Structure 1
């Protein structure tokens, strides 16, 4: 039986960074607004174009993702899409609250809480990579003719190339 929204709110995972409690937001009940906002942050950070290089171990790709997120200038914004002050209901997430959270996270980082912030960024990276792997496998499996291998089952010949751009971009 599915949990009721009030019960889901009470059961949200919370973490503490400095003296601030944060709720961890996932993908299970994401709004279109937050999903679009996160997509924009990924696009503007360049992370949406990041691909695993041929022969690159998944762990190395993960480390590169986290590093690129940190140097992109969007790390705090990405985190703000997944962290919300614990006293704010998840349904009240807005881009403005995310901007405020990003600012607070930057202040916490600069106040000496680098390890906690980097750990949360790694969590975001792990979630993103897991979702991309599942998406790639499900779309490849759905589109492969019977008896043919999917791209996930073949060597990654084009994994390092960015996707083709449409004429309008």
Structure 2
């Protein structure tokens, strides 16, 4: 009638170390986004990685003659596109949120990598994502030529009105 602790805490086929890696990898990326007041902070990033990992592992469990886990990966990529589209907006003719959408896409890839390549690969990918997000900002701060045209920082309509008035 009573369960032992191993049975009580078992989440097979998922693994606790992989869940920890998913939360850690999502938190690494999410912390960078949250510290810079961008969409998709720590909670959302961790949930995207964890959810993607769970879908991949669970799809492997239902593998048979008609079920193919690689199809689940394709569906995750498609589905995550909808989340990414939700963070992109057009404000005054300027599209914002594209980097956040791309980050969401990478978070899903990190979740897939936990199930397919292992947790260490996922954590390394998360660090690479943060290096890209933060590193490009450093480059843009150092070289103004990198912030021309569509790559300029969106400062909102108030700044734009001031510029138009000063013309």
Same topology, TM > 0.5: no
Asked which structure has the greater CA Rg, the reply is 2
The TM-score, its normalising length taken from structure 2, stands at 0.27
- The higher-RCO structure (CA 8 Å, 6+ apart) is 1
The TM-score, its normalising length taken from structure 1, stands at 0.27
